[in-house]
A and B are shown apart, each in its own frame.
Chain A
Amino acid sequence: MIAITPATVLRRRSDVRYRRIEGEAVVLRQSAAEVLVLNEVGASVLDLADGERSVGEWIDTLREEYEGDSATLARDVLAFASELAEAGLLEPVAARNEP
């Protein structure tokens, strides 16, 4: 289990390929046979997982794009990041010190 906090920095694994199509994303991994479809937020999370920005920065970016409750969005993004890491699509780069 990978613990994801706002300070965690994640990147897409090198064998992950994805294609955005009408808001959703189709994701493939070389080392696994399955093909995943992610919704718009999931697709945005994949876009943001560049190994540079922290999960907290993703949340800030997504707040500007999506309406709705800010705390809910943060909780959803953390959960999503954790799921994608568990699925082997994202991997941690480094943990920054919490402010």
Chain B
Amino acid sequence: MSFGGGFLHHPDLFPARRAGEPWGDRAVALDVAGGPYLLSGLAATQEEALRHRFGALCGPAEGGGTVSQVFRAPAGDFRPIDTRGWEYTLDLDPTPDALRVAGLHLMARLSWTPALAGALWTPETAGEEWTPVCENYLRLLTAYRLLELRGALLHSAGVTDGEAAWLLLGRSGAGKTTASRLCLAGGGTVLSDDLNAVLFADGGAARLRKLPFTGDLGERAGGPESVPLRAVLRLAQGTEEGLRPLSPAAALASLVAAAPFVNRDPFRREALLAVLERLARAVPAWEVTFAREGRLWAILRSISIPRADP
């Protein structure tokens, strides 16, 4: 199926530019990793819903940041979709200088002119419908913004003891939420059991940044902002608990598979590989086998700090 056909009645009429009729004159700045992200053209109900959803992360839309405008789109442009038992994946159409996106009640465009900027067209203004539309857009935008900053958005669970963080990778069903619960029960803090940000500090050390994009667990507003990343772990469930070292290549493969959106973009794939190779070389990686009632948190905390090269 050609781009957008699963979501839009007329994908050939997809907006050719970042233009349209704004929903209103409200604006919000979101203080999320890679941000701030400035959203303008909002209706009052959209702004209120974002403030309710993101709380203290919402600030006044002043100063610089990655700009997105929100525009009206007729509800009739979108196909009705029965979402029962349906796995939602945004439809992406990348080109060298832009990205078109189609999804449930949303069309979006990211473009590099040369700074990253975005536009979101949606028929939704009320909380329950608008918030997931906007959050899906923000997840995508964050992935591209972090890549621009030589970081990455990773589908993962991020857990911390406040001094170090561990990034847990695995396909859907691999046990990220189960592992997060075990860490929580052991005394750890779950940054997110869904999406986490990795950025490199000025000195080159990888740090895990909390994001408000959580699944069942995670602090949407509280918790530490950024923690040094001690290890990357590929999850495996089993009865024989323990750690097995992963080669940097195996770690890189797991990281690439866990990098949503951008790992489907051939025009940014080299940049993604470069970032994730740096991460795979900088942070030790292990496969951790854990049991549902096991001692995962203790295993993670047993991983020692790697000795710095002289």
Interface hit among A14-22, A57-65, A81-89: A14-22
Q: Is the CB of B247 within 8 A of A22?
A: yes
B270 at the A interface (CB under 8 A): yes
Complex interface: chain B residues within 8 A of A34 (CB): 257
> Given A26-B256, A35-B253, A35-B257, does the pair A17, B248 have CB atoms closer than 8 Å?
no
B245-276 CB contacts (< 8 Å) to partner A:
247-250, 252-254, 256-257, 263-264, 266, 269-270, 273
List 18 A-B pairs, Cβ < 8 Å. A17-B273, A19-B252, A19-B277, A21-B252, A21-B280, A21-B281, A22-B247, A23-B249, A25-B249, A26-B256, A26-B273, A28-B263, A28-B269, A30-B266, A33-B264, A35-B254, A35-B256, A35-B257
Which residue, of B247, B254, B270, B277, has the highest number of chain A Cβ atoms within 10 A?
B247
For the complex of A and B, the 4 pairs showing the least CB-CB separation, nearest first, are: A24-B249, A35-B253, A26-B252, A21-B249
A19 to B269 alpha-carbon distance, docked (Å): 11
A37 at the B interface (CB under 8 A): yes
- Show the binding face of A for B, using Cβ within 8 Å: 15, 17, 19, 21-26, 28, 30, 33-37
A35 to B272 alpha-carbon distance, docked (Å): 13
Q: Is the CB of A28 within 8 A of B256?
A: yes
Which residue, of B249, B256, B273, has the highest number of chain A Cβ atoms within 10 A?
B249
Tell me the count of chain B residues lying within 8 A, CB to CB, of chain A: 18
A61 to B225 alpha-carbon distance, docked (Å): 52
Known: A21-B281, A24-B250, A37-B253. 20 other contacts (CB 8 A): A15-B266, A17-B273, A21-B247, A21-B249, A21-B252, A22-B247, A22-B248, A24-B249, A25-B249, A28-B263, A28-B269, A28-B273, A30-B266, A30-B269, A33-B257, A35-B254, A35-B257, A36-B253, A37-B247, A37-B250
B interface, over-half SS: helix
Q: Taking CB as reference atom, which chain B residue is nearest A19?
A: B273
Contact pick for B247, options A24, A33, A36, CB 8 Å: A24
Distance in Å from the Cβ of A25 to the closest Cβ of chain B? 7
Q: Taking CB as reference atom, which chain A residue is nearest B265?
A: A30
Which residue, of A22, A34, A36, has the highest number of chain B Cβ atoms within 10 A?
A22
A23 to B263 alpha-carbon distance, docked (Å): 23
Complex interface: chain B residues within 8 A of A36 (CB): 253
Q: Taking CB as reference atom, which chain A residue is nearest B280?
A: A21
Distance in Å from the Cβ of B256 to the closest Cβ of chain A? 5
B139-176 CB contacts (< 8 Å) to partner A:
none
A23 to B266 alpha-carbon distance, docked (Å): 24
Contact pick for A26, options B253, B270, B281, CB 8 Å: B253
A60 to B306 alpha-carbon distance, docked (Å): 40
Complex interface: chain A residues within 8 A of B263 (CB): 28
Distance in Å from the Cβ of A27 to the closest Cβ of chain B? 8
A22 to B247 alpha-carbon distance, docked (Å): 8
Complex interface: chain A residues within 8 A of B273 (CB): 17, 19, 26, 28
Q: Is the CB of A26 within 8 A of B249?
A: yes
A78 to B256 alpha-carbon distance, docked (Å): 29
Distance in Å from the Cβ of B82 to the closest Cβ of chain A? 24
Q: Taking CB as reference atom, which chain B residue is nearest A31?
A: B266
